[in-house]
Structure 1
Amino acid sequence: MTAPGILPDSEIRALAEAGGVSVEQAFAEGQIQPASLDLRLGKTAYRLRASFLPGKSRTVEEVLSSGLVMHELDLEDGAVLETGCVYLVPLMEALRLPADTSAAMNPKSSTGRIDVFTRVIADRASAFDHAPAGYSGPLFVEISPRTFSILARTGDRLVQARFRRGERRITREVTVSVDLEGFDGRIGWRARRHAGLIDLSRIGGHDKLDYWEPIDARGGRMVLDPGEFYILASREPVIIPLEEAAEMAPIAPEIGEFRAHYAGFFDPGFGVKEAGGTGGRAVLEVRGRDVPFILEHGQPAARLVYESMSATPDRPYGTLGSNYQAQKLKLAKYFNT
């Protein structure tokens, strides 16, 4: 009997082989993660007038044909997705889920760290980033670069899917606070406005100082400016045991003046010593809201929600050559170190 919980790499592979995930091209190396599946951009990006949800009675294609598309971009040779614009891209992967299995989607860590806002849309969906149990149909990703324009191509991976068998089984929740004492005197990075293009194919190929302003430690506090984007780190080390997966979730909304995460999935093995980690920190993607806001060292910023795995992964996080195992204050993989 199959166990409920988040599916590990071996069961994701079995799900695909049974037709639960259909693909235009065979999976790429490293696409199946310990508890998630990277999803790849298709051939065309549609520039939209606005974001949307199809609702229970319409497919995504039906909405696109209603006059929402402004123009199309060919991604096969690469295309620039500009800040302040909304794009929709069909994904290479489609789903035909079993009746007891649902899917949740989230930006990949590297996507959130460059302030690219993404949401996955399924046919007849009334919510983003969710495919209900038994869903059969295509997936599309909405992409809206907020700070940096990006050069994207067919096959790039901006989002990932996590598959859940049965009901959600939360095992515990842990509050994550912000570290403003710093790492070697530095507490974070502030994105530079009007910086250059980020080419998603150039790993480590961008000079971080062209895109980011370092923030030095100053007495355990800082002021968040409205609309600005920051990379900070958690005060607490984060460890995800092999029998659990976790997701970053918002803290109580009444705190109010900032948002502290974009990319939320943490796979089993993150921070685990045997997988090459030593309790890595959670990187916080922070955006100030309506008014300047003083952030203090140790102030709660987000929650980590832990769930049971249906089985332990064959290859835990950190054994795949991850960019972020044992991280402290770390920018996205696109920048030099």
Structure 2
Amino acid sequence: MTGTGVLPAQEIRALIDSGAIELDAPLAEGQVQPASLDLRLGDVAYRVRASVLAGAGRTVAGRLADFEMHRIDLKPGAVLEKGCVYVVPLMERLRLPADIHAVANAKSSTGRLDLLTRAITDGGVEFDRIRAGYDGPLYAEICPRSFSVLVRPGQRLNQIRFRRGQAVLRDPELRALHDAVGLVAGGPAVISEGLGFSVGLEPDNGDLVGYRAKPHADVIDLDRIGGHDPAEFWEEIRTDKGRIILDPGAFYILVSRESVHIPPDYAAEMAPYLAMVGEFRVHYAGFFDPGFGHDAAGGTGSKGVLEVRCHEVPFVLEHGQVVGRLVYERMAARPETLYGAGIASNYQGQGLKLSKHFRAP
């Protein structure tokens, strides 16, 4: 057994071997990441009237009986329509030990498609939070926000991270770590309940600073990696003024000003910044694995891509404005493989970049 903190890949595999994580199908290649496990869609989707949690003492299946509108067979492929809510049983089930709890989050590519995906459990009173000792099935609640998507069983839209105890770095520890190894470059280290990061709206080359989702685009086939034309789905956002105005309800892909570094013995999660900084939300997909932006893993200069949705009123966003924070945690042990080092890591060394489903513009 390793120590307190986020469980690495080798201990996730041990949980599978022990039956603490049960699989409906054999483990897929690349499913175990350095500090997380990808979760796979099952064979059926339930279209429901509204987003709903099971609640204490109740099951997701029981809630589906109350709110199900119809069922969709995913085996031949099926479209999940923009603006609708679906619940999909996953291929993974948990029998967690009493000292291990878990948190789920959307994968990076899922967030960059504005595909709201959250894990729900029997007895759950929060999205994406799985209590220690949980014994039961896992479900994904999926709500496509900007684009309808074609999905099939086995596709991986969200991921789960396992923890033993709590190992979040306090601000003094985070400052010491930054002084020792450098956690950001290209901007100051703003440390306050995590590591703050800001938006980059002054690109090094040209005036392209981001993308805005088109409101009436075609369906995205999630199996067509690199097969979609960005121009059919995204409007380019260009400026030489160092600022843009966010439109209410619109979805944007932007990039951080700073390059981010996650050392091998740590993991990080992106958390919302104070609501008072503006009428927008940043980043649906929040896990940063050990080795992201790490020199030895080929990640020098990795920036954080920001998924931004504006709320009720237009809002001026300016270069260098702090928009979010990274919460760092210790790993229970160093993972056997780092992000970007010999595994399928689509966003190591990235700058402004759409999801892997689009051709390079």
TM-score, scaled relative to structure 1: 0.98
1:169, distance to aligned residue in structure 2 (A): 2.9
Counterpart in 2 of 1:180? 201
- Identity rate of aligned residues, in percent? 58
Q: 5+ residue gaps in structure 2? A: 175-193
1:245, distance to aligned residue in structure 2 (A): 0.1
- Alpha-carbon distance in structure 2 between the residues aligned to 1:182 and 1:224: 18
Letter of the 1:196 partner, please give it: D
- Alpha-carbon distance in structure 1 between the residues aligned to 2:108 and 2:220: 15
Candidates 306, 324, 332, aligned match of 1:302? 324
Counterpart in 1 of 2:281? 259
Counterpart in 2 of 1:336? 359
Cα 1:132/1:168, change in 2 over 3 Å: farther
Counterpart in 2 of 1:293? 315
- The CA RMSD measured in Å over matched residues stands at 0.9
- Alpha-carbon distance in structure 2 between the residues aligned to 1:61 and 1:27: 25
Candidates 253, 274, 291, aligned match of 1:231? 253
Q: Secondary structure at the match of 1:269?
A: coil
Letter of the 2:112 partner, please give it: R
1:231-284 deviations in whole A, cap 9, x for unaligned? 000001000000000000000012231111100000000011111111300000
Quick check: 2:53–2:124 contact (8 Å CA) kept in 1?
yes
- Alpha-carbon distance in structure 2 between the residues aligned to 1:15 and 1:218: 51
Quick check: 2:30–2:344 contact (8 Å CA) kept in 1?
no
- Alpha-carbon distance in structure 1 between the residues aligned to 2:267 and 2:345: 16
Counterpart in 2 of 1:110? 109
Quick check: 2:7–2:161 contact (8 Å CA) kept in 1?
yes
Pairing 1:166-245 to 2, within 5 Å after superposition: 166-171=165-170, 172=174, 173-185=194-206, 186-245=208-267
1:30-58 deviations in whole A, cap 9, x for unaligned? 00000000000000000000011111110
1:183, distance to aligned residue in structure 2 (A): 4.4
1:118, distance to aligned residue in structure 2 (A): 1.0
Q: Secondary structure at the match of 1:45?
A: strand
- Alpha-carbon distance in structure 1 between the residues aligned to 2:160 and 2:82: 25
Counterpart in 1 of 2:18? 18
Letter of the 2:200 partner, please give it: D
Single out whichever of 177-186 and 15-24 deviates more from structure 2: 177-186
- Alpha-carbon distance in structure 2 between the residues aligned to 1:133 and 1:121: 14
Q: Secondary structure at the match of 1:294?
A: strand
Counterpart in 2 of 1:97? 96
- Alpha-carbon distance in structure 1 between the residues aligned to 2:201 and 2:251: 16
Quick check: 1:53–1:125 contact (8 Å CA) kept in 2?
yes
- Alpha-carbon distance in structure 2 between the residues aligned to 1:192 and 1:138: 36
- Alpha-carbon distance in structure 2 between the residues aligned to 1:306 and 1:279: 19
Quick check: 2:23–2:93 contact (8 Å CA) kept in 1?
yes
- Alpha-carbon distance in structure 2 between the residues aligned to 1:21 and 1:144: 26
Counterpart in 2 of 1:313? 335
Counterpart in 1 of 2:79? 80
- Alpha-carbon distance in structure 2 between the residues aligned to 1:65 and 1:288: 34
1:324 correspondence with 2:347:
yes
Q: 5+ residue gaps in structure 1? A: none
Counterpart in 1 of 2:292? 270
1:184, distance to aligned residue in structure 2 (A): 2.1
1:280 correspondence with 2:302:
yes
1:147 correspondence with 2:170:
no
Quick check: 1:235–1:281 contact (8 Å CA) kept in 2?
yes
Q: Secondary structure at the match of 2:33?
A: coil
- Alpha-carbon distance in structure 1 between the residues aligned to 2:243 and 2:203: 10
- Alpha-carbon distance in structure 2 between the residues aligned to 1:249 and 1:176: 11
1:199-246 deviations in whole A, cap 9, x for unaligned? 000000000111111111321000000000100000010000000000
Quick check: 1:182–1:217 contact (8 Å CA) kept in 2?
no
1:6-39 deviations in whole A, cap 9, x for unaligned? 0011010011111110010011000000000000
1:65, distance to aligned residue in structure 2 (A): 1.6
1:270-316 deviations in whole A, cap 9, x for unaligned? 01111111130000000111111000100011100000000011110
Quick check: 1:183–1:329 contact (8 Å CA) kept in 2?
no
